Amino acid sequence: MPKMKTKSGVKKRFKLTASGKVKSAQAGKRHGMIKRTPKQIRNKRGTTVMADADAKVIKKFMPYG
């Protein structure tokens, strides 16, 4: 049986934590910063852990973690 391939877009955008949760960049920071409050911009720095329902979909595309 051949190896399953990881989606290349997924491996660039997401990482798995040691406990198996999915880490991703904060949404809403690509453009349109002028509409956002400074507090929103500050809070969207760094990464966040995805919700379980969303993470379940992402994990299908990364079979080997």
CATH code of the domain covering residue 28: 4.10.410.60
What per-residue confidence (pLDDT) applies to 28? 94
Q: Which residues constitute the domain of residue 22?
A: 11-60
Q: Is residue 1 part of a domain?
A: no
Q: Using one digit for the tens of pLDDT, what is the confidence trace for 7-47?
A: 999 999 999 999 999 999 999 999 999 999 999 999 999 99
pTM confidence score: 0.83
Residue 4 neighbours by CB under 8 Å, 6+ apart: 63, 64
Distances (CA, A) of 59 to 3, 16, 21, 23, 62: 16, 9, 9, 11, 5
Q: Is residue 19 part of a domain?
A: yes
What is the end-to-end Cα distance of the chain in Å, rounded? 19
What's the domain count of the chain? Answer: 1
